[in-house]
Amino acid sequence: MKVSVIGAGNVGASCAEYIAINKIASEVVILDIKENFAEGKALDLMQTATLNGFNTRITGSTNDYSKTANSEVVVITSGIPRKPGMTREELIGINAGIVKTVTENVLKHSPNAIIIIVSNPMDTMAYLALKESGLPKNRIIGMGGTLDSSRFKCYLSKALNVPASDVQGYVIGGHGDTTMIPLTRLATYNGFPVSNLLDAETLKKVAADTMVGGATLTGMLGTSAWYAPGASVAALVDSILNDHKKLYTCCVSLNGEYGQSDICLGVPVVIGKNGWEKIIDFKLTADEQAAFNKSADAVRAMNKVLSEMKTV
């Protein structure tokens, strides 16, 4: 099983590392436009193989897409990272061109690949990849909701003072500071509603912290986060390659689901060997649906920028 990661930055390298350590794929190819950068990352990671007990073969290449041939999954992390004070929307002009070019090149060599989009603004980049590639919609997956949900569960576990593995929660909507929707109503601790354990003010703070989770880390680190994004991608790759059919929140193409169409947005989906295989209806309340619609409006505004740029 072969996975290619386009972009050898922090997120791409972390993704490759988690895939190898968790023995998810037999081969990982890292590609980057910077001379010898992917090769260096791959060599460094391979030198941990005996220490971490994995047999995954990791190789790197400078912009040679032929090395990615016959990949089952391609992960696109390419693009400039978000810097302090920069919104995801501000990334659109530069990253749209990058994602378009990368998508075209990977499909020349891996026409049957499932593509996972990480590049920001992720909802719009997923929409771009879908429109440009002409692929069946189930083969384009935006990672954002998986990451946002993991942050939500982290903050919930801190508020409850319990292991994060005992907490379940989902974030839907756009992958942005003002567009994501942490579903506090449906969050549970070992199946028990969290709303029965935390007061409304605490839940409100958990949701607020989740929504600015990426910006908080960008402010601390001076660049976008990479450990949790890399792990989120690896989890999706695992569910695809091993057909686990796990439920994750991902940015996918909607055709009437959740009241939206002609948009890629975060909803709960089953992830298996065919990519995303089924959208799960969480039966939103009127307030939650209104928030989802507002999120869709914001993402459409970004998608409109693509149209005006004649990218889509």
Q: Which one-letter amino acid corresponds to residue 173? A: G
User: CB–CB of 80/42 below 8 Å?
Assistant: no
**Cα–Cα distance between 215 and 223 in angstroms, integer?**
9
**Chain-centre distance for alpha carbon 154:** 17
Whether the bond into 121 is cis, omega within 30 of 0? yes
Q: Is 50 exposed, middle or buried (0-12, 13-18, 19+ CB in 10 A)?
A: exposed
Q: What are 181's strand-pairing partners?
A: 172
3-state SS assignment for residue 154: helix
* Distance from C-alpha of 117 to C-alpha of 242, rounded to nearest angstrom: 19
Q: Which positions are catalytic?
A: 175
Type of residue found at 4: S
SS3 270: strand
Contact 153, 228 (CB under 8 A): no
